[in-house]
Amino acid sequence: MTTTHEDSDGQALTGRAFHLIGVGGAGMSVLAQLLAEQGADVTGSDASSGPALEQLRAQGLKVYVGHDAAAVPEQATVVVSTAIKETNPEVAEARARGQEVIHRSQALALAARGRRMVAVAGAHGKTTTSGMLAEALTAVGQDPSFAIGGVVRALGSGAHLGTGPAFVAEADESDRSFLNYTPAVEIVTNVEPDHLDTYGTREAFESAFLDFARALVPGGLLISCTQDPGALALALAVAEEGRRVVTYGCCTPAELPGQGLVGEAHVELQIHEHLATGTRSSLVRWTSATTHEEPVELRLSAPGEHVALDAAAAWACGLELEVDEQQMARALASFGGTQRRFEDRGEAGGVRVVDDYAHHPTEIEALLRAAREVAAARGGRVLVLFQPHLFSRTQAFAERFGQALGLADVAVVTAVYPARETQEDYPQVTGRLVSEKAPGTARYVADRVEAARSLADMARPGDLLLTVGAGDVTEMGQVALARLCERAPGDSGGEVA
């Protein structure tokens, strides 16, 4: 029997038709599942096949490979992402018929109606933080709905329509679509400028986050990180407007600008020990510049200070959602990660291969610091295959990417993954811009398969080999593992050519 879920206007989604163009994308496939679970008739298309389409077909959805005007149901609301152009034949057909065409974020807001939305935003850290929160709330029995741009390993999905009041959503700032939400709680992990192809300037990027905070429902809460100057500035501005704010970071309120509390509370993260398998830390909730509650122990099974900070944000949100502080900390301790976030791909010849989605310089710095802790425990080095994502981002951050890769012992940079951009618009931009800015032994190998094999040839027992980036570099972990398996017994790896 299909359960009818209604939005706040009382309009049932059961029987309503949606056609999603680009349904194989992470965000769109999640949305398709959510709409279908609410009783909507969902169809979709994508330029190529892949695991997401196969999963949707297994769930009974009609999804097609290729874009064909005939695939669009006449009564459907057509859902697109920013990457879908008006020249797409399915969009053109919907426009000609006068059908409703909406952005993915608008459809997600529709799916979230009637629930208490928690929107997680930031240039990086969104997927881990929202995944942590969804898994922890599930563990404590709240059965949240969630829409996350990555599969939460313990939950086996990035989407779920729950029976509880909370709806956890990863909010994408890349195309301003996060401004379509009216959350009850917002988590902002950082406001570090990115997507300047959309915003143009740092000021415009930061202004969008202020607009995002102003979209909170009356009485809603902003949870913002003090480790990032942009997120701290946002917290200060929002607090000055009289809105509710809780901050978090590796400091006490006395160490913040003005030496006092920003908003109603501050969660201090105290890291006691970095381990190859995670961190041991405490969370201290300050209610004034000089008053705090008893520390709460937090043990995490994923390495890195950045992951611990994400957990602090999720813990603060759990308290807002009326979860007991000790119970929330215990639930976070079991977080097993999301796909493509420090995800093990296997081990061969004593070399551990890990894949990660990091595609911004700050993300890569945090990843490689955590990787060094893991490699040190193994007595090995950190080897990185990095694929830059977008020509515009590569051009803007080439020097910072190079500096970040300096944290690796060996780095190989491959060709830029273009995504929505074309090489013709950026003829001088290649991965070589990054390798030339990296200190030490970084080098450029345009072909990603050749790059993966060459890095594997340099690996020694005990090393940690990472494939890093938001594009198809994720497929290169298996290439590296195959190369490692091909090596003759006793071959301990070579040096950089």
pLDDT, tens only, 18-69: 999 999 887 788 899 889 988 999 999 999 888 889 989 998 999 999 999 9
User: How far is it, in rounded angstroms, from Cα 236 to Cα 253?
Assistant: 13
Kindly give the pairing relationship between strand 157-160 and strand 77-80.
unpaired
**Phi and psi at residue 180, in whole multiples of 5°?**
-85, 0
Residue 4: predicted pLDDT: 34
User: How far is it, in rounded angstroms, from Cα 305 to Cα 5?
Assistant: 39
* Structure-block tokens of residue 199: 């915003």
The mean pLDDT of 102-124, rounded to a whole number, is 91
User: What separation in angstroms does the CA of 112 have from each of 51, 141, 150, 477?
Assistant: 25, 19, 18, 36
Question: Cβ distance 40 to 13 under 8 Å?
Answer: yes
pLDDT of residue 420 exceeding 90, the answer is no
Residue 266: predicted pLDDT: 97
Q: Indicate the average pLDDT of the chain.
A: 89
Residues shown for the chain: 497
User: How far is it, in rounded angstroms, from Cα 255 to Cα 325?
Assistant: 24
User: How far is it, in rounded angstroms, from Cα 119 to Cα 54?
Assistant: 28
Instruction: Quickly state the pLDDT bin for 7 (edges 50, 70, 90).
Output: very low
User: How far is it, in rounded angstroms, from Cα 442 to Cα 384?
Assistant: 9
Question: Cβ distance 494 to 470 under 8 Å?
Answer: no
User: How far is it, in rounded angstroms, from Cα 392 to Cα 426?
Assistant: 8
User: How far is it, in rounded angstroms, from Cα 113 to Cα 169?
Assistant: 12
Tell me the pLDDT tens digit for each residue of 121-151.
998 888 899 999 999 999 999 999 998 877 8
Maximum alpha-carbon separation in the chain: 68
User: How far is it, in rounded angstroms, from Cα 197 to Cα 258?
Assistant: 35
Active site residues: 126-127, 170
Mapped onto helix, strand or coil, the DSSP state of residue 158 is strand
Q: Please identify which residue in the block is written with the tokens 């955590």.
A: 370
Q: Please identify which residue in the block is written with the tokens 């097993």.
A: 336
Tell me the pLDDT tens digit for each residue of 441-459.
789 999 999 999 999 999 9
| pTM for the model | 0.75
Residue type, 386: F
Residues 6+ apart with CB under 8 A from 16: 39, 40, 41, 77
Mapped onto helix, strand or coil, the DSSP state of residue 50 is coil
Percent of the chain with pLDDT over 70: 94
